[in-house]
Amino acid sequence: MPSVEHVEHHFTAGETVRDIVIGMADGLTVPFALAAGLSGALDSSGIIITAGFAEIAAGSIAMGLGGYLAARSDADHYISERKREQREVQLIPDVEMKEITEIFEQYGISEDESSRVTDALRRNPEKWVDFMMKFELGLEEIEPKRARNSALTIAISYIVGGLIPLSPYIFITSAHTALQVSVVVTLFALLIFGYVKGRYTGTHPISSGIKTMVIGGLAAGAAFLIAKWIA
């Protein structure tokens, strides 16, 4: 009987999805809340569009910059820790070997059983450092373009998300009427976004969609009521 090849399918785009989620989540909720708040005090779609576009521009730049700095910080931290491990491998190899043995012991592997692996790593210092970075420190090497890609992904996702709640104001002159359309469009977009986010992140898609929609709706509702109260 022929054997069936076992193929494992793992989701490997976690960092990109995380950036999209960060950008879209804020892009859908912040401009939505801003537009709703202004609609509670104004009835001019033109002013709301101007304020909304200004917020999207500022928000996308701020969010993108934040993503860049976070990824750059991770990369710098990895480089710093790798240099430290390289020094330790050279200066105190016995201590590092003991740490490897302790790591294997956490998985139920005795010192005698792990000795062949530790001896092999000792003959290959770079692989030894790779092992320590991953299993001792839990750090993965950062892709060189990660900071730039993260910034662009978050910024673009923010812009796309922000245009959804503002789009009705572009075509409808009355801000109050546009708000009603915006609420329906944005809540539906939040529901779909939350559902897709749940599918990719491993949480229950329907529950994720409903929670995302409720949170965005509450933020917009609060902004609208505050603006209405002040006005």
pLDDT digits (tens, 9 = 90+) for 95-152: 878 878 877 777 777 777 777 777 777 777 788 788 788 877 777 777 778 888 889 9
In what helix (H) or strand (E) does residue 76 lie, and over which residues does it extend? helix 45-91
CA 143 to chain centre: 16
Residue whose pair of structure tokens reads 């193929």 in the numeric block: 7
pLDDT digits (tens, 9 = 90+) for 67-77: 899 888 888 88
Give the residues of the chain that fall short of pLDDT 70: 1-14, 201-202, 223-224, 227-228, 230-231
- pTM confidence score: 0.75
pLDDT on residue 117: 76
Residue whose pair of structure tokens reads 């002013």 in the numeric block: 47
Q: Is 166:35 a contact under the CB 8 Å cutoff?
A: yes
Residue whose pair of structure tokens reads 């949170």 in the numeric block: 215
**Residue 78 neighbours by CB distance under 10 Å:** 16
Q: Is 27:59 a contact under the CB 8 Å cutoff?
A: yes
User: Whole-angstrom Cα distance, residue 201 to residue 141?
Assistant: 22
